[in-house]
Amino acid sequence: MSMFYERFMLLCLEKNISQTSAIQEIGLSTGNLKNWKNGRIPMPEVLRKIAEYFDVSIDYLLGESNIKKPLVNNDEELTEYLYYLKTRPELRMLFKVSSKASKEDVEQAVRIIEAIRNDEKDDPPST
Tens of pLDDT along 62-111? 988 887 887 778 777 787 788 778 778 888 888 888 888 999 999 998 99
Mean pLDDT of the region 9-27: 95
Tell whether 14 and 45 lie within a shared domain: yes
pLDDT score of 126: 56
For residue 70, is it within any domain? no
Tell whether 54 and 82 lie within a shared domain: no
Among 15, 18, 62, which residue's Cα sits nearest to residue 40?
62
Mean pLDDT of the region 43-50: 94
Tell whether 10 and 38 lie within a shared domain: yes
pTM: 0.58
Integer CA distances (angstroms), 101 to 90, 91, 105, 106, in order: 17, 15, 6, 6
Q: Write down the mean pLDDT value for the chain.
A: 87
For residue 7, is it within any domain? yes
**3-state SS record for the chain:** CCHHHHHHHHHHHHHCCCHHHHHHHHCCCCHHHHHHHCCCCCCHHHHHHHHHHHCCCHHHHHCCCCCCCCCECCEHHHHHHHHHHHHCHHHHHHHHHHCCCCHHHHHHHHHHHHHHHHHHHHCCCCC
Q: Could you tell me the CATH number of the domain that includes residue 11?
A: 1.10.260.40
The parent domain of residue 55 ranges over: 3-62
Percent of the chain with pLDDT over 90: 45
Tell whether 55 and 19 lie within a shared domain: yes
- The total of other beta-carbon atoms located within 10 Å of residue 67's CB is 11
The dihedrals phi and psi of 80, each to the nearest 5 degrees, come to: -65, -45
